[in-house]
């Protein structure tokens, strides 16, 4: 039954149309990004053919133009009416735009909201949706070992080996046992951060605030002493490995934007046989409310970063990043035109780190800006800025083609 449901979903609500529509198939790409876009759709067709067979590809392609208007109508009812950012576009226009994008470029109607197409005016030919980005990154990395980048422990050890500035690690807990890093096998008297080794989006993470009387406090678990906290971590590690780290503290100027929760810069770098590692794009992420993580998926905010000077641009929040924000609601600090400290050092650190992973074309780095400089917190092989279509304004497509043609 589960297999049948998966197959039915792949048939009726695919993220991309695997059978290129005639007007798209016979069109001649006039830019590198359009060549990449066409390649991605061919990769998706091949994936569906391997998993479900050629008949599924044909059936999905035939159903696509018939179901797109209905899918766009349902998505407009669920999202368009309550999306504040999309309200400047009429409901009818939202529906028509979804149908036009889907039928013209073979992309899902829901990408209209996820990629914030309603925020742009005019013809958006040069776009990369989240689904497309994951497909092309997965294809480029298909023969590589992802662990040195994605696995948090292996990544930490890689950074230490190559003397890259990275967030300190106290211990690794797995299957009820602890492996301490360093000589001290006890908890330091400071706030601590606990997270699964394979988590994403801040899921499963816990911040334990040091109270100064031999105890730590976490909102849901309450107050625990050292013995109680270690017992809790050991218990959690029975189901999946956990990392224990000291809480990082923002640079004093960054604290005005994020309070006590560490803010991170997501910096994407690219590399090919024809070019050394270089910056691709960047965003600055901030928490909202009482959250101890800054991930957008956890309700955080994201602001675009000018790569030249590290100056913040417009910030957005909300499920579809459709709410423009001028000031951080937590601190009242103005976001636009804020200059990130140690920006050049952070950019240089990411490019230096990417050179130690010579086989990866793209890597997304999470960087903390501390009082004494930037540190690498983690890296990601499958990454994505909140607005992937902005990649059309970068060297993304050229770098993809350079790596494929090498």
Q: Is the pLDDT of residue 144 over 90?
A: yes
Please, what's the b/e burial string for 237-269 (b: 16 or more CB within 10 A of its CB; e: otherwise)? beeebbbbbbbbebbeebbbbbbebbbbbbbbb
Q: How far, in Å, CA of 321 to CA of 315, rounded?
A: 9
Which one is predicted more confidently, 123 or 191? 191
Other C-beta atoms lying within 10 Å of the C-beta of residue 163: 9
CA angle in degrees (0–180, nearest 5) for 64-67-70: 150
Q: Pick the residue with more confidence: 277 or 49?
A: 277
pLDDT exceeds cutoff 60 at 388: no
With a pLDDT cut of 90, the percent of the chain lying above it is 40
Number of Cβ within 10 Å of residue 94's Cβ equals 24
Q: With 80 as the cut, is the pLDDT of residue 124 above it?
A: no
Q: What are the pLDDT digits (tens) for 92-106?
A: 888 998 898 888 878
d(CA 189, CA 132): 46
Strand pairing of 242-246 and 192-196? Answer: antiparallel
Let me know: does 139 contact 361? Beta carbons within 8 Å. no
Regarding predicted confidence, which is higher, 323 or 401? 401
Residues whose CB is less than 8 angstroms from the CB of residue 340 and which lie 6 or more positions away in sequence, other chains included = 254, 265, 284, 305, 310, 311, 312, 346, 369
* Alpha-carbon span 198 to 241, nearest angstrom: 8
C-alpha 313/C-alpha 337 separation (Å) is 6
Return the CATH fold of 147-166+250-405. D-amino Acid Aminotransferase; Chain A, domain 1 (3.30.470)
Q: Which residue has the higher pLDDT, 309 or 41?
A: 309
Q: Mean of the pLDDT values across residues 211-219?
A: 89
Instruction: List CB contacts of 254: < 8 A, sequence separation 6 or more.
Output: 263, 340, 341, 369
* Cα gap 344→246, rounded to integer Å: 25
**What is the C-alpha R_g of the chain?**
23
Dihedral, CA of residue 93, residue 96, residue 97 and residue 100, to nearest 10 = -160
Map residue 314 onto helix, strand or coil.
strand
β partners of residue 223: 217
Q: How is the chain split among helix, strand and coil, in percent rounded to 5?
A: 40, 20, 35
What's the CA gap between 321 and 84, in Å, rounded? 10
| Per-residue pLDDT, 26 | 66
Q: What is the pLDDT of residues 237-266, one digit of tens each?
A: 998 899 999 999 999 999 888 777 888 999
Give the model's confidence band at 351: pLDDT under 50 very low, under 70 low, under 90 confident, else very high: very high
**Residue 303: what pLDDT?**
86
> Degrees (nearest 5) of the Cα angle 359, 376, 297?
95
Distance of CA 285 to the CA centre of its chain: 11
At residue 329, does pLDDT exceed 80?
Answer: no
Asked whether the whole model's pTM tops 0.85, one would answer yes
The pLDDT score that the predictor gives to residue 53 is: 83
Residues 6 or more apart whose Cβ sits within 8 Å of residue 49:
18, 56, 57
Q: Work out the average pLDDT over 343-364.
A: 96
Number of H helices, E strands in the chain: 13, 14
SS3 of 243, please? Answer: strand
Cβ partners under 8 Å of residue 161, min gap 6: none
The distance from CA 23 to its chain's CA centroid, rounded to whole angstroms, is 32
Q: Report the distance separating Cα 103 and Cα 109, nearest Å.
A: 9
Helix (H) or strand (E) holding 285: strand 275-286
Query: Are the C-beta atoms of 365 and 158 separated by less than 8 Å?
Result: no
Q: Which carries the bigger pLDDT value, residue 401 or residue 1? A: 401
pLDDT, one tens digit per residue, over 156-183 is: 999 999 999 999 999 999 988 989 987 7
> For the chain, which residues make up each domain, given as ranges?
2-140, 147-166+250-405, 171-246
The pLDDT assigned to 122 comes to: 46
More confident of the two residues 47 and 30: 47
Count other Cβ atoms within 10 Å, centred on residue 160. Answer: 12
Confidence grade of residue 138 (pLDDT, cut at 50, 70, 90) = very high
Residue 402 confidence class, pLDDT cut points 50, 70, 90: very high
260 vs 378 pLDDT, higher one = 378
Instruction: Order the strands of the 215-218 sheet from edge to edge.
Output: 177-180, 171-174, 242-246, 192-196, 206-210, 215-218, 222-225
Q: How far apart are CA 376 and CA 365, in angstroms?
A: 7
């Amino acid at each position: 039954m589960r297999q049948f449901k998966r197959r039915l979903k792949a048939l009726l609500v695919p993220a991309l149309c695997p059978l290129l529509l005639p007007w798209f198939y016979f069109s001649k790409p006039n830019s590198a990004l359009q060549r990449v876009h066409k390649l991605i759709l061919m990769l998706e067709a091949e994936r569906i053919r391997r998993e479900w067979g050629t008949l599924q590809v044909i059936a999905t392609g035939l159903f696509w133009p018939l179901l797109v208007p209905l899918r766009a109508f349902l998505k407009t009812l669920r999202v368009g009416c309550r999306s504040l950012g999309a309200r400047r576009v009429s409901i009818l226009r939202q529906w028509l735009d979804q149908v036009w994008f889907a039928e013209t470029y073979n992309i899902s109607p829901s990408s209209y909201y996820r990629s914030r197409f309603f925020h742009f005016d005019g013809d958006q030919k040069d776009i990369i949706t989240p689904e497309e980005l994951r497909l092309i990154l997965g294809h480029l990395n298909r023969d590589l070992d992802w662990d040195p980048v994605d696995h948090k422990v292996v990544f930490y050890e890689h950074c230490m080996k190559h003397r890259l500035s990275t967030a300190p690690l106290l211990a690794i807990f797995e299957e009820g046992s602890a492996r301490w890093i360093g000589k001290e096998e006890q908890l330091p008297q400071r706030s601590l951060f606990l997270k699964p080794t394979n988590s994403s989006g801040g899921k499963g993470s816990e911040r334990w605030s040091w109270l100064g009387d031999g105890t730590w406090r976490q909102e849901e678990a309450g107050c625990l002493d050292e013995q109680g906290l270690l017992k809790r971590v050991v218990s959690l590690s029975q189901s999946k490995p956990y990392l224990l780290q000291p809480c990082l503290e923002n640079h004093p100027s960054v604290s005005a934007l994020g309070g006590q929760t560490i803010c991170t810069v997501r910096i994407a770098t690219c590399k090919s046989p024809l070019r050394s590692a270089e910056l691709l794009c960047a965003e600055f992420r901030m928490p909202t409310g009482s959250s101890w993580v800054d991930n957008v998926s956890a309700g955080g905010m994201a602001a675009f970063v000018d790569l030249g000077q590290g100056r913040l641009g417009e910030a957005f929040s909300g499920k579809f990043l459709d709410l423009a924000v001028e000031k951080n609601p937590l601190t009242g600090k103005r976001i636009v035109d804020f200059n990130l400290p140690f920006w050049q050092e952070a950019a240089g650190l990411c490019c230096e780190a990417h050179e130690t992973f010579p086989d990866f074309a793209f890597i997304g780095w999470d960087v903390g800006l501390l009082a004494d400089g930037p540190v690498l917190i983690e890296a990601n092989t499958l990454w994505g800025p909140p607005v992937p279509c902005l990649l059309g304004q970068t060297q993304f497509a050229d770098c993809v083609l350079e790596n494929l043609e090498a």
